[in-house]
Amino acid sequence: MIRKPPQQDTVDRRLEIWSRELPDLDLLTEGLVERIAHLARHLERSMTQTLAQYGISYGEFRLLAALRKSGPPYQASPGRLAESLDLSASAMTNRLDRLERAGIVRRLPDPADRRGLKIEPTADGWRLWEQIIAAQAEKETHVASALGDDDKRWLNDLLRPLLLSFEESAEPPRSNFRDDG
């Protein structure tokens, strides 16, 4: 059986130039890194478009995600949220003010601390978060459909050690998303 050569992508065309201009460059590593970077940019752009459709910023989405990750009863103090999102107290207050005005979260008295507050999503906030997740998951499923399930497992198994290498030796990655405080 004759195997058809893979279709060239943007990175292949760049690597042809680099092979000529930088003959000592490790093209296998460069190809891997460039493809991961390109995919990350495409996925970020896709998420930005999804969020824009729902009228919410990436930072606001992250706040809802932090509440969801907190588990039942899906409440957290503003201080805990600010810490988990790496925001100043004033940036967190601004974000909470916007989300509260939009009916996405509400502030509740903290039963364990009469001076404290708990933040929780409203029913509208949950619906919004779930709609965003569903819309983005559909886009990501479409992209991933280029691979079969076995290939997806194989690719996950290949990428896991690369991510672990960074997680063990580097600072957490910063997203290119604008987190507008």
**What Rg, from alpha-carbon coordinates, does the chain have?**
21
Six-digit token pair at 48? Answer: 């930005």
Q: 58-126 sits in which CATH class?
A: mainly alpha
pLDDT value at position 73?
Answer: 93
Task: Provide the residue-wise pLDDT of the chain in tens; the chain has 181 residues.
Answer: 555 667 899 999 999 999 999 999 999 999 999 999 999 999 999 999 999 999 999 999 999 999 999 999 999 999 999 999 999 999 999 999 999 999 999 999 999 888 999 999 999 999 999 999 999 999 999 999 999 999 999 999 999 999 999 889 866 656 656 555 5
Of 64, 32, 86, 71, residue with least CA distance to 136: 64
pLDDT value at position 169?
Answer: 87
Domain residue spans in the chain? 58-126
pLDDT value at position 166?
Answer: 86
Q: Which amino acid is residue 50, in one-letter code?
A: T
Q: What is the DSSP string of 14-40?
A: HHHHHHHH-TTS-HHHHHHHHHHHHHH
| pTM for this prediction | 0.81
Q: What is the DSSP string of 38-72?
A: HHHHHHHHHHHHHHHHTT--HHHHHHHHHHHHT-T
